[in-house]
Amino acid sequence: MPVTQAPPISFDDTAVAFASKSDGELRKMYALFAAMNNSSLVKTGGGLMKAALKWHLPGTKFLIRKSIFGQFCGGETIQECLPVIQELGRYHIGTILDYSVEGEGNDKSFDATTTELLATIDLAHRSQHIPFSVFKVTGVGDAAILEKVQAGKALTPAEQTSFEKTKKRINAICARAHQYGVRVFVDAEESWFQDTIDQLAYEMMQRYNRESAIVWNTYQLYRHDRLDALKKAQAAAVAGGYYLGGKLVRGAYMEKEGRVAAQQGRENPINPTKTATDDLYNEALRYCVQHADRISICAGTHNEASSLLLTELMQENGLRPGDPRIWFAQLYGMSDNLSYNLANAGYNTAKYVPYGPVEAVMPYLLRRADENTAIAGQTSREFMLIQKEMSRRKARP
């Protein structure tokens, strides 16, 4: 197999990483990440922010929009996200609009979320800068029913009706994505109803992935069984004559998974060490690249070693940087050293861009920060890179 030569890539190249940021914007980022690098301040500030939002204190929303919301979110509406989409597109980085509003758990909120998700797909169809849409099944259906289905418990007539509505909403989203040729991620969630989500995703793949990977499932590799699940899904895709789309992440619910497993007296599904998770993640990358004839993947990671490994695996297997089956993705406002350098070297790269009303999105972001123990290490890395770029700019003649 011929080796595809790719340009050298360095994730320490801050000139590329922060090319889109003015000196003023860089100083603002420096101040924000300096604050976020203080764990006690993050905990205290997060609590104060929640309370201020709850009590509608004057000026709270303005301050949040100008700080943490502005750094990590695209806006409150799809329309407000358009400048972010265009700015990322200037640097050949795609946008994945992530409607991060958590519903009220009833049909009205589920239908409203579905309508919003269809709007993101419609925009993706019209924009060259939006390669994926994304949704959480619990945004369009009742988590308790998903859990009951996974446990093999009989549903009441009302629950069965609700579950059928959930499936119709999911089908409407995936049908629109297929109609417009827009890829759509089905996000991973908690293990006690993930099997139900997997089954729903695979049903959609069987229906809509006949020509290419339109529907993509998500695999949280901090779970020790997920590589096996990925392999079984690939075998099913081969047998069923359809394509598999897989977004590979490490995971987002680690503490919660361990806590609930202990409460329920079952085995913790999480790998015993971070090294074990890293090894499993990298093994999954190898497996997917080796089966690129059937599997399309998105490496949703802030891990530099895994990102570099994927570029090396692509080269070893004769896949050019812009191969449409291989994508990289990071969160908006973080890991620009990965996103901008990957895109600059010609790799398919996108940013997850959360959006929604401040009051609705901030609890989601704060809870994500609380849950994800890797955030502290990541903010330290971000802070260091920003310092490096500020020093580089000061040293310019």
Cα–Cα distance list, 267 to 225, 242, 259 (Å):
12, 33, 11
Among the listed residues 107, 103, 161, the one whose alpha carbon sits nearest the alpha carbon of residue 135: 103
Q: CB under 8 Å to 137, separation ≥6 — which residues?
A: 146, 166, 170, 186, 187, 189, 196, 197, 200
Please report the pLDDT score of residue 347 as a whole number: 97
Please report the pLDDT score of residue 235 as a whole number: 98
Cα–Cα distance list, 9 to 6, 24, 218, 344 (Å):
9, 27, 27, 9
Q: 158: which 2 tokens?
A: 């009302």
Specify burial of residue 115 (Cβ count, 10 A radius: 0-12, 13-18, 19+): exposed
Please report the pLDDT score of residue 251 as a whole number: 92
Q: 236: which 2 tokens?
A: 């099913």
Please report the pLDDT score of residue 97 as a whole number: 98
Among the listed residues 10, 23, 4, 3, the one whose alpha carbon sits nearest the alpha carbon of residue 344: 10
Specify burial of residue 349 (Cβ count, 10 A radius: 0-12, 13-18, 19+): buried
What is the rounded CA–CA span in Å between residue 85 and residue 126? Answer: 12
Side-chain half-sphere of 265: how many Cα atoms within 13 Å? 0
Q: 187: which 2 tokens?
A: 């996000």
Please report the pLDDT score of residue 253 as a whole number: 86
Q: Do you know the residue count of the chain?
A: 397
What string of pLDDT tens digits covers the 397 residues of the chain?
444 566 679 999 999 999 999 999 999 999 888 887 777 766 677 777 777 777 778 888 888 888 888 989 999 999 999 999 999 999 999 999 999 887 788 999 999 999 999 999 999 999 999 999 999 999 999 999 999 999 999 999 999 999 999 999 999 999 999 999 999 999 999 999 999 999 999 999 999 999 999 999 999 999 999 999 999 999 999 999 999 999 999 998 888 999 999 999 999 999 999 999 999 999 999 999 999 999 999 999 999 999 999 999 999 999 999 999 999 999 999 899 999 999 999 999 999 999 999 988 887 777 655 544 455 567 788 889 999 999 999 988 7
Q: Letter for the amino acid at 36?
A: M
Please give the class, per CATH, of domain 76-369.
alpha beta
Region label for 73, one of left (φ > 0), alpha (ψ between -120 and 50) or beta (otherwise): beta
Show me where the domains of the chain are located.
76-369
Axis crossing angle, helix 226-240 with helix 274-290, rounded to the nearest 10: 20
Q: 299: which 2 tokens?
A: 């490496």
**Is 387:94 a contact under the CB 8 Å cutoff?**
no
Please report the pLDDT score of residue 13 as a whole number: 95
